[in-house]
Structure 1
């Protein structure tokens, strides 16, 4: 493939890092970018938090000095707030890309009509998209959106959302092939991604069940998607972006040889991750942030329980170095971890939490429920 074009922005490799709360901070984005080209999106922020100057929101808008393409995912349920937030991101933060989140399945978001619930209200969706595009266009910044198939199998929204996105001037739409009710359970419906590709003229990005580079190539081939969005598959595996870059740069039909990292390389990546976290947030906080990644990095390796426990309680880089030295650098990457789900999965929900009367009509600009100032749940 020749990369991904989103309006005025061209990405060398058609791969986007999905925003993940508490994960895709500046340090992790740089760590992934060091592995291969792609579009690396900041953690999701709320439009209201940005407009009202919430400090927590501003603290999340931190970029690495080498992050020349600044990409931010914005959440909002009020067209006015979203439009103002988009303008702030362009004028004051120099972003090159804004993504709007209409895919979050978390109950505290959907109960306010946000995230994956919002596309049910077609005119509200259109108003939000139009405001964001109007605010970003003078700066030449493309706006994209991420959504899901729908609220549940009886309330699908993705085809309408794709049409509205195209009519609103959105540069691309990313589709997670699950409903809100599924959350992260079950299998992603790649056929739905293909149907959306046929339904719209703007680029469609596929999301869901990309655990290896071969999965991404297969998704693009099967659906006709312009690229892929990768989330949970890179947890503890930032080198997945190296594999993706190699796979997408190969000629059609060419066999791509993927070199699986031995534990020594994994150890080095872990150390680099902790170092980057320290650079951005100081050593004490960096070690606390790093702890959550330990189990993902070591998943399937034979590192003992005591060592894993100590790594998950690490308090300094010096202590981390001592513990990492105990890992066997020659241990091969566990074959059992290839192509299998990572991160949260859970079970489907019997009922999606929605505002009262939400499903009675697909119209209603007067149904806006203002979001919390600082909401950091991705989706």
Structure 2
């Protein structure tokens, strides 16, 4: 498989220097320590945690405190925070800084999940421009020397775009970079990302890096996005599901030192087994780790000659021994299947009207009565 290459373009986010301009996107239930470590074994870049709810962190929820932990091999360490209240987010940032939990903090304003947006959170929040600016401003001040970045979407829908205003507001507040998932909330993950919007944001935000996100399924896509938009780096989400070695291909494409891959079925099997092993270590529970890796089966083996019985077995296995026995039945010499293994991964969904609080779009100012309602947006099972 031939991969396009680009001139070396290191990325600087505040004091953090990255050899390649590549960021792993936060994905709920995916980008835990195990997956981040696996991706690092193949390539380089910044690997962000799954989304952490600021209120849960402030309240020191047991699960949340576990999720913010990093393995000793992880550097730089990155945590993404989500919330709707400036004071709570600032307090969560202060905890991260004071207790040395991370070297980089990202704020999530991209979640399109209805149960979040109908409370005014996620991708709905930048519509309230002062609230958005207050959150970023207070978070940046609380972060001190730790670089704080912002990830967002284009807006609520095509008639209510916010990304240019939000990008400039984040820049003015002192954010170290902004990342744009080039879809609106109403598009969810459907259709094609609007890379033109990334180019527009790059023209509007001139003093800090602008990162592009959306439809990067291969290193070729990443090279092309940067060439077409002049963005400073790429954020990779669903494209690495079942393909952690994509970060090696990305590193090589941008002049770094990534692991060269021959993605035979044997190679993919070993990667899947390593993922399961790391999950067992992360959860400190073999059954739980093996259950968690089940969601990855279809992604890893997309396009490969793996029979239904083995796929079903891997999707129900509860021990590493069971996984080993099933993987041992595969033809390890089966070659990379090409196009059948490429393209979109994960659920795309369908365009739909974004669920919003009543009268949310009537004003870009937040009504005083909405504050209590918005507390319900801070739930733990959302994503960007």
TM-score (norm 1): 0.95
1:80 matched residue in structure 2: 87
Instruction: Decide which of 270, 273, 276 is 2:272's aligned counterpart.
Output: 270
Shift in CA distance, 329/34, structure 1 to aligned 2, threshold 3 Å = same
1:20 matched residue in structure 2: 27
- Report the Cα distance in structure 2 between the residues aligned to 1:309 and 1:243, rounded to whole angstroms: 30
Instruction: Decide which of 137, 146, 156 is 1:141's aligned counterpart.
Output: 146
1:58 paired to 2:60: no
Q: How far did 1:170 drift?
A: 0.4
Instruction: Decide which of 91, 98, 110 is 1:103's aligned counterpart.
Output: 110
Instruction: Decide which of 200, 212, 224 is 1:218's aligned counterpart.
Output: 224
2:288 matched residue in structure 1: 285
SS at match of 1:228: strand
Instruction: Decide which of 323, 326, 341 is 1:320's aligned counterpart.
Output: 323
Q: How far did 1:258 drift?
A: 7.1
Instruction: Decide which of 340, 360, 363 is 2:343's aligned counterpart.
Output: 340
After TM superposition, the structure 1 stretch with the greater mean CA deviation from structure 2, 279-288 or 172-181, is 279-288
Equivalent positions of 1:344-359 (< 5 A) are 344-349=347-352, 351-359=353-361
1:203 matched residue in structure 2: 209
SS at match of 1:42: coil
- Report the Cα distance in structure 2 between the residues aligned to 1:293 and 1:133, rounded to whole angstroms: 35
- Report the Cα distance in structure 1 between the residues aligned to 2:379 and 2:261, rounded to whole angstroms: 41
2:49 matched residue in structure 1: 42
SS at match of 2:49: strand
Instruction: Answer whether contact 2:42 2:259 (CA < 8 A) is retained.
Output: no
Shift in CA distance, 338/307, structure 1 to aligned 2, threshold 3 Å = closer
2:240 matched residue in structure 1: 234
- Unaligned residue ranges in structure 1 (runs of 5+): 251-255
Instruction: Answer whether contact 1:212 1:338 (CA < 8 A) is retained.
Output: no
TM-score (norm 2): 0.94
2:174 matched residue in structure 1: 169
Where does structure 1 differ by over 2 angstroms across 4 or more consecutive aligned residues? 256-260, 336-339, 364-368, 371-374
Instruction: Answer whether contact 2:152 2:179 (CA < 8 A) is retained.
Output: yes
- Unaligned residue ranges in structure 2 (runs of 5+): 1-7
Instruction: Answer whether contact 2:314 2:326 (CA < 8 A) is retained.
Output: yes
Shift in CA distance, 191/257, structure 1 to aligned 2, threshold 3 Å = farther
Paired residue total: 372
Task: Calculate the aligned-residue CA RMSD, in Å.
Answer: 1.7
Instruction: Answer whether contact 1:54 1:373 (CA < 8 A) is retained.
Output: no
2:126 matched residue in structure 1: 119
- Report the Cα distance in structure 2 between the residues aligned to 1:303 and 1:188, rounded to whole angstroms: 31
Q: How far did 1:338 drift?
A: 5.2
Q: How far did 1:259 drift?
A: 4.6
